[in-house]
Amino acid sequence: MTTFVPKSVQDALDAARLDGIKAKSRLRVAVDSHDFPVLRMWKDGFSVEAADSPQLRGLVDLYDGTRHLSQCLIVASDEEAGEIRYEFKRATPVSDKAPLDFYRAPDAPVALITQDDMRF
């Protein structure tokens, strides 16, 4: 048994599915002060709505609400059912601290108090 769905019905179903995904998603991608909602995200990529976003390429920032998750280098891979899929060439997680370039022991002191600091 085969099921045939007219093109207009299929387009309406795709639009309703995309609207539902956009309403649930907090993820967004920022490019040159423009934000685009991320519909789905997986380990090595994400997708955005084809109608609302231009062809993205290069360096983008990925956010979860207002929290900056990562800075990514992306390329477009596929367009299907109103979504454009992008793959990460590089995804660097953002950290709120500067990285250490040396080993710090867990029991190391935070600061050193000298004899000059002890004067009142």
pLDDT digits (tens, 9 = 90+) for 24-63: 678 889 988 888 989 888 999 999 888 888 888 899 999 9
Domain boundaries, the chain: 26-96
In the chain, % of residues over pLDDT 70: 88
The region of weakest confidence among 28-37, 65-74, 108-117 is 108-117
116 DSSP assignment: G
What is the signed CA dihedral for 83, 84, 88, 93, rounded to 10 degrees?
-50
| pLDDT value, residue 117 | 63
Task: For the full predicted model, state whether its pTM sits above 0.75.
Answer: no
Max intra-chain CA distance, the chain:
91
- Does the domain at 26-96 match CATH 3.30.1330.120? Answer given as no
In the chain, % of residues over pLDDT 90: 18
